Amino acid sequence: MNNLLVAPSILAADFANLQRDIEMINQSSADWIHFDVMDGNFVPNISFGLPVCEAVNKHAQKPIDVHLMVEHPEWFIEAFQKAGATYITVHYEACAHLHRVIQQIKEAGCHPGVALNPHTPVSVLEDILPDLDMVLIMSVNPGFGGQEFIPRSLKKVEELKQLIKKQNLEVLIEVDGGVNLETGQKLADAGVNVLVAGSFVFKSESPLDTIKALKNVGS
């Protein structure tokens, strides 16, 4: 059975035709809609925020997977839950009080995740792992789409998988950055549960076929 989940990142969608692209994802074999929030402080780019999430939620028939690449993510948890988020992932590097923020996400009724930048080792999550539903390994430096996959990410996935097994947990491993059929296959083999793909999906000739092909790398 293929348990690999695919979450197209609408950071790479056509913003002038966002409803059309959300409806394409609805019709596809994708599992989630990945929603990248950037504040221009934590990462050197600004993307979109709450009003866009609310608009996406009006048309989405799949869970919205919100990735907060922002400073002070604790300011926005409840608002994104109200805007339609099912999963909310915050960055380890952005949270001085990570445990408190994770509890806040749970209290809001969402699934909590923690993202790690490429330079951050998975070992920092050892104590917080039992409180998480998901870990997001960034396989590029966050801030911009269309970057090349960092090969070291595969090793991090394997290390994280061992850490999860050691604690006998059921925590999803998500990877975002440079995902295509080749890297997707390697990631699936390494134990990834969720593939995030932006440019690879939306810049392809047939996004529906591309999503289906990504789903199939896990089978």
Q: How far is CA 167 from the centre of its chain?
A: 23
Number of C-alpha atoms within 13 angstroms, CB side, residue 122?
21
> What CA–CA distance (Å, rounded) separates 161 from 166?
9
Identify the active-site residue in 21, 31, 36, 39.
Answer: 36
Query: Which stretches of the chain score pLDDT less than 70?
Result: 1-2, 144-146
pLDDT of amino acid 3: 86
Domain that residue 119 falls in? 5-216
14 is an active site residue = no
pLDDT of amino acid 1: 36
pLDDT of amino acid 2: 56
Report the domain count for the chain: 1
Q: Where are the alpha helices (DSSP H) in the chain?
A: 18-27, 50-59, 77-83, 98-107, 152-166, 181-190, 199-202, 207-216
Please report, for the domain that includes residue 80, its CATH number.
3.20.20.70
Which DSSP letter does residue 73 get?
G
pLDDT of amino acid 164: 98
pLDDT of amino acid 86: 98
65 is an active site residue = no
Identify the active-site residue in 21, 31, 65, 176.
Answer: 176
- DSSP letters, 94-140, are G-TTHHHHHHHHHHTT-EEEEEE-TTS-GGGGTTTGGG-SEEEEESS
